[in-house]
Amino acid sequence: MSFEDHLSISIGDHILHRARWNMRQPLIAGNWKMNKTATEGQVLAQAIRLGLQTSVVEVVLCPPFPVIPIVHATLQGSSIRLGAQNVHWEDAGAFTGEVSPVMLKEWCQYVIIGHSERRQYFREDDEMIRRKVLAALRHGLIPILCVGETLAQREAGETEGVVTAQTRRALEGLTPEQATRVVIAYEPVWAIGTGRAANGADAEKVIQRWVRGTLEELFGPAVAQQMRILYGGSVTPENITEFICRPAIDGALVGGASLRAETFLGIIHETARVKA
C-alpha cells in the first residue's frame, strides 16, 4: 500500500472519528446527593439557570427527592433537564420509603441508577440495577447508569473485569433501540469525593476499551457509537478539560462541584468551549 493510500485511510478514519464524536451531544449532570433543602435548591437552580450561557451542552440537575418539585418549577421554560438520584423497579406497592418511575416521570427526564454509593451503602447488586434500568426505560426516563471499580479492585488489576461485568449485567435483555436511550457514567469509586481524579488517558482507556467495547459486543458498533459515556469522580472546572478533550468522553457526572453555581457553570462552559 502506498503512502498516499495510508494517508487517505488515516484522514478518513480521523474524519469518521470526529463525526462520531460530534454527533453525541455533551452532557453535564449535577448529582447533589443528600444536600440542599428546598429553599437552597431553588436558589441554586435559579443561579445555574441565570448563569447558563451555552446551548452546546445538555445540562441535568439531580436534586434529592423532596427538592425535585421546586427545582422543576424553577427550571420551567429553560433548557435544563431534571433528574432523580434513584428509582425503584416496581410501579407501585408495599415498598416503604421507595419512589417509583411512575412518580418520577411527572417531574424528571433522567434518573441516576447504580451509583457506587447505592451499591456500597445500600447493597444494590447488578440484578437490582438491571431491573431499575428496565423500569426507567419502560416509563420514558433516561437512565444514567454508573459503573466503576474500587481502589482495591484497581490495584488488583481487576478494572476490566469489574467494569465489563457491571456494564454487561445492567444492560442485559435490552434491545438496541432501548440501549441508545441509556447514558453511562464511568465513575472509579476511588475518585469519588476524594479529590483524587483519574487522569484523562486512564479514563478514556477504560471508557473506550471496556465500556464502549462491551456496548459494541452487546448491540453492535453503530449503537455503541451513539451512546453517551460520561466520566465522574472529583470533577472540577480546573480538571474538566483533562477529560472532555478526549473524544471517547461525552461529559461528566459531577458531585461536590455541582453544589455551587459558579463551579458547576465553570464545568459546563469549559465543556462547551472544548466540544463546540
Q: Which residues are catalytic?
A: 115, 187
Amino acid identity of residue 246, one-letter, is: R
Query: Rounded to an integer, what distance in angstroms lies between the CA atom of residue 123 and that of residue 38?
Result: 28
**C-alpha closest to that of 61 among 89, 37, 33:** 33
> Which H/E stretch holds residue 59?
strand 58-62
**CA dihedral defined by 188, 190, 193, 198, rounded to 10 degrees?**
-60
**C-alpha closest to that of 98 among 107, 85, 88:** 88
The dihedrals phi and psi of 84, each to the nearest 5 degrees, come to -105, 170
Other Cβ atoms closer than 10 A to 33:
18
Q: Which three cell numbers stand for residue 39?
A: 429553599
Query: Rounded to an integer, what distance in angstroms lies between the CA atom of residue 183 and that of residue 147?
Result: 11
Query: Rounded to an integer, what distance in angstroms lies between the CA atom of residue 215 and that of residue 200?
Result: 21
Q: How do 81-84 and 251-254 pair as beta strands?
A: unpaired
Contact partners, residue 90, CB within 8 Å, separation at least 6: 98, 100, 135
- Count of CA atoms in the C-beta half-sphere (13 A) of 67: 25
